[in-house]
Chains A and B, each alone.
Chain A
Amino acid sequence: DTGVSQDPRHKITKRGQNVTFRCDPISEHNRLYWYRQTLGQGPEFLTYFQNEAQLEKSRLLSDRFSAERPKGSFSTLEIQRTEQGDSAMYLCASRPGLAGHTDTQYFGPGTRLTVL
Chain B
Amino acid sequence: AQTVTQSQPEMSVQEAETVTLSCTYDTSENNYYLFWYKQPPSRQMILVIRQEAYKQQNATENRFSVNFQKAAKSFSLKISDSQLGDTAMYFCALDGFEGGGSNYKLTFGKGTLLTVNP
Q: Which positions in A face B, CB cutoff 8 Å?
A: 31, 33, 35, 40-45, 48, 50, 55-56, 91, 93, 100-102, 104-110
Given contact pairs A101-B97, A104-B50, a sample of 5 additional A-B residue pairs in the complex whose CB atoms are under 8 Å apart: A41-B111, A42-B109, A48-B105, A101-B104, A110-B44
Q: Which residue of A lies closest to B44 (CB)?
A: A109
Q: Which residues of chain B have a CB within 8 Å of any CB of chain A?
A: 4, 33, 35, 37, 43-47, 50, 52, 91, 93, 95, 97, 101-111
- Say yes or no: A109 contacts B103, CB within 8 Å: no
Contact B44 A42 (CB under 8 A): no
A41-B43 Cα distance, complex, nearest whole Å = 16
Whether B102 lies near A55 (C-beta < 8 A) is: yes
Q: Is A56 touching B35 in the complex (CB atoms < 8 A)?
A: no
With CB as the reference atom, state the residue of chain B lying closest to A3: B44
A108 touches B103 (CB 8 A): no
Whether A105 contacts B43 in the complex (CB less than 8 A), given A42-B91, A56-B101, comes out as no
Kindly list chain A residues whose C-beta atoms are within 8 Å of the C-beta of B108: 42-44
Listed residue (A43, A108, A110) with the most chain B CB atoms within 10 angstroms of its CB? A43
Cβ of A101: which chain B residues have Cβ within 8 Å of it? 33, 95, 97, 103-104
Task: Report the Cα distance A33→B105, complex, angstroms.
Answer: 9
Contact partners of B93 in chain A: CB under 8 A: 42
User: Are the CB atoms of B103 and A55 closer together than 8 Å?
Assistant: yes
Q: Which of B43, B104, B109 has the largest number of chain A CB atoms within 10 A?
A: B104
Q: Are B102 and A56 in contact (CB under 8 A)?
A: yes
With A102-B33, A104-B50 as known contacts, state yes or no: A40 contacts B110, CB within 8 Å. Answer: yes
Q: How far is the CA of A104 from the CA of B43 in the complex (A)?
A: 19
Bound complex: CA A55 to CA B105 (Å) = 12
Cβ B44 vs Cβ A102 within 8 A: no
Report Cα–Cα, A105/B91, bound state, in Å.
Answer: 14
Structural contact, A104 and B47, CB atoms closer than 8 A: yes
Contact of B110 among A42, A55, A56 (CB under 8 A): A42
Query: Closest CB of chain A to B115's CB: distance in Å?
Result: 16
